[in-house]
Amino acid sequence: MTDLLECRDCGHRTYYEKHRCLECGGAEFDAVPAGNGELLSVTTVHVTPEGVREPNALGLAAFPGGANVVAQLDEELSIGDEVRLVGDRELRVTEDGPLWGVRIAAAE
């Protein structure tokens, strides 16, 4: 799921599911492709919860429409790089099985 959620009322986008838009309170969202974004910050985490890769390289990326995303880096990237979301990555292992989701990769 590399899409973002776009508020049907005001157009503001978010990656984080919620019942109401943070900007206008709207309750309807449409899934839209994230497109390319910019990497604002990166960190490498060396102490991670059980079932999470260690070290865990994470990035904070800004996408069009006001949506920022914190996600695992799929490759080595630097602040300022143009990036995209890639899907179907195994992010962590839990007692109930693996959790799959998006990572941040270089824009094509």
Partner 1 sequence: MTAQKREARAVDASPVRGDSPAITGAGMTAFANADDRSLLELLLVAAERALDDADRDPAGVDSVHVGNMAAEAFNERSGLANALVGGLGMTGVTARRIENTSASGASAFQSAVAAVASGRSDRALAVGGEKMSAADTATATEIISRITHDREYEQGVTLPSFGGLAAAAYLRGSDADRRDLARVAVKNHANASSNEYAQFRKRIAVDDVLASPAVAEPLRLYDCCPTSDGAAAVLIESGPAESDDAVRVAACESATGTHAVADRADPLEIESVRTAGERAYDAAGFGADAVDIACIHDAFTILEWLEMEELGLAPAGRAWELTRDGETDLDGALPVNPGGGLKARGHPLGATGISQVIELVWQLRGDLPDERAVDGAARGLAVNVAGFGNNAVCTLLEGDA
Q: Return the number of the residue (71 or 105) whose C-beta is nearest partner 1.
A: 71
43 binds partner 1, rule: CB under 8 A: yes
What's the burial of 101, exposed, middle or buried (CB within 10 Å: 0-12/13-18/19+)?
middle
107 binds partner 1, rule: CB under 8 A: no
- Taking CB under 8 A as the criterion, the residue among 2, 29, 72, 84 binding partner 1 is 72
- Taking CB under 8 A as the criterion, the residue among 71, 83, 85, 105 binding partner 1 is 71
79 binds partner 1, rule: CB under 8 A: yes
Contact 104, 85 (CB under 8 A): yes
Which residue, 30, 34, 87, is CA-closest to 65? 34
* 60 sits in which H/E element: strand 56-63
32 binds partner 1, rule: CB under 8 A: no
